[in-house]
């Protein structure tokens, strides 16, 4: 049986170990939240409102979630759940409501303006 020269053994070992190296991982990209325009039809009561104004309108939120510069307030009642999203203006300042989602208690979408009317104090 013939043996490999010492330098060839080292070369094979180096190639074998190189195959075990992990691929480089890209750093996660952080993006600023975008402002989503709200469909104002029937929703003027909650459009462009501060969190304090919304709490005065609906009472304490069931959920209050802050993620980065954005904030989500969730209000619930007997017939629907209303999620209102607030974002700061591009030039800075206080967050204002820019978008809302409404669903029934089973999770199906419902009319947002109808949910707003049902939940108002």
Determine, yes or no, domain membership for 77: yes
| Domain with 77 in it | 51-119
Sheet holding 70-76, edge to edge: 63-67, 70-76, 81-87, 96-103
Contact 116, 59 (CB under 8 A): no
Within-domain flag for 62 = yes
Question: Does the residue 32 lie in any domain?
Answer: no
Q: 69-121, pLDDT tens digit by residue?
A: 999 999 999 999 999 999 999 998 999 999 999 999 999 999 999 999 999 98
Residues 6+ apart with CB under 8 A from 96: 48, 49, 50, 86, 87, 88, 89
Which residues lie below 8 Å from residue 66, measured CB to CB, with a gap of 6+? Answer: none
Residue with tokens 């979408």: 109
Q: What does the pLDDT read at residue 121?
A: 81
Angle at CA of residue 57, ends 56 and 59, nearest 5°:
65
Q: Tell me if 10 is assigned to some domain.
A: no
Structure confidence at residue 88 (pLDDT) = 96
Position 27 in a domain: no
Query: CA–CA distance from 106 to each of 6, 20, 33, 63, 80 (Å)?
Result: 72, 50, 28, 17, 9
Is the pLDDT at 36 greater than 80? The verdict is no
Q: How many domains does the chain have?
A: 1
pLDDT at 30 over 50: no
**pTM for this prediction:** 0.66
What whole-number distance in Å separates Cα of residue 34 and Cα of residue 105? 28
Q: Does 80 map to a domain?
A: yes
């Amino acid at each position: 049986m013939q043996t490999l020269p010492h330098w060839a053994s080292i070369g094979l070992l180096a190639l074998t170990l190189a195959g075990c190296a992990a691929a480089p991982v890209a750093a996660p990209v952080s993006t600023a939240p975008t402002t989503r325009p709200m469909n104002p039809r029937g929703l003027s009561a909650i459009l462009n409102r501060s969190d304090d104004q919304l709490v005065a309108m609906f009472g304490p939120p069931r959920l209050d979630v802050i993620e980065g510069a954005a904030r989500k307030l969730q209000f619930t009642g007997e017939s629907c759940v209303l999620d209102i999203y607030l974002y700061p203006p591009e030039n800075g300042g206080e967050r204002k409501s820019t978008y809302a989602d409404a669903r029934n208690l089973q999770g199906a979408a419902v009319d947002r303006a109808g949910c707003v009317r049902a939940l108002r104090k």
